[in-house]
Chain A
Amino acid sequence: MICRPVLTRRGHSHCRNLSYVSNHDNHVHTEVVRAVIERGAGFRFHVSGHSMHPFIRNGDEVVIAPMSSSGPRRGDVVLAIHPHNKNPVVHRIVNKQGPCYLLQGDNRLFADGLVRKENILGKAISVDRNGKTTSMGLGHEGLIIGVLVRTGLFLPLKRGVSIILHSSPDKSP
């Protein structure tokens, strides 16, 4: 008996409407992203996790664009193939060593490891959160953020800013 041909909508916000249950989860398929980027187009998808907090947060939609002709640069937030687990990851380039790039999440103590240029799929250019688009942390300021992340200064700095912002004025005498 032939199984019926089915067209399924896989987007995050539509998967509950499906009449056909897919064996795939909706994670980003590297081959699909690579194919879209090779067309010169951008790619928008949901990210999960907290490793890039505060610039990219759990549930944000990130737009990845093809790399510019000058290639990846220190400070860029990129979609790359993780050097160890081979999953796609959106992290920052914090250093360059020969032909390889050192990746690290802004909210991580340690780097992911070195990736080669061919495993960097594209560059994050904007983030959609609660209907608003931002590119904070994705521009030229990325170079400074990258230095702070690599030297381990970013997390204490972030914590300090967070304490200041969340300290209630009511508690002051």
Chain B
Amino acid sequence: LPSDSVVAREIDGDILIVPIRAGIGDAEEELYGLNPTAREVWNRLNGRTPVKAIIDELIHEYEAPPRDITDDVLGLLTELLKRGIVEEASPEGTAGA
């Protein structure tokens, strides 16, 4: 699920994300953008829906090879995790409650 320490806003179809580090959002060092496809993943991150369910939804919704969608979603989430933009939710899904 999205980390509590990031601010995200949708601007002209993209999601702009600013992590707050040491009390400062640094637009020079860490201002991230998600394109509309990544936004489809981001908007499904709620701490309750498993990643597999998100991938299944996207496979159902988009005409692309399931393998490609799976790889892309996992790749994106790995990148977001690495940068502290998302966190792993607890198995019970209570982290976002």
Contact = CB atoms under 8 A, between A and B. Distances in A.
Interface of A: 1-14, 20, 22-24, 26, 28-29, 31-32, 35-36, 39-46, 61, 63
Interface of B is mostly: mixed
Nearest to B23: A41
7 contacts: A2-B37, A2-B63, A8-B35, A36-B7, A43-B24, A44-B25, A63-B24
A23 B26 CA distance: 20
Given A5-B75, A9-B32, A12-B27, 12 more contacts: A2-B72, A3-B36, A5-B72, A20-B35, A22-B33, A22-B35, A23-B12, A24-B16, A35-B7, A39-B20, A42-B23, A46-B27
B27 A11 contact: yes
Interface of A is mostly: loop
B2 to A, nearest CB: 13
Nearest to A4: B72
B36 to A, nearest CB: 7
B28 to A, nearest CB: 5
A28 to B, nearest CB: 7
A7 B38 contact: yes
Contact of B31 (A5, A11, A39): A11
Contact of A7 (B7, B20, B68, B76): B76
Nearest to A3: B37
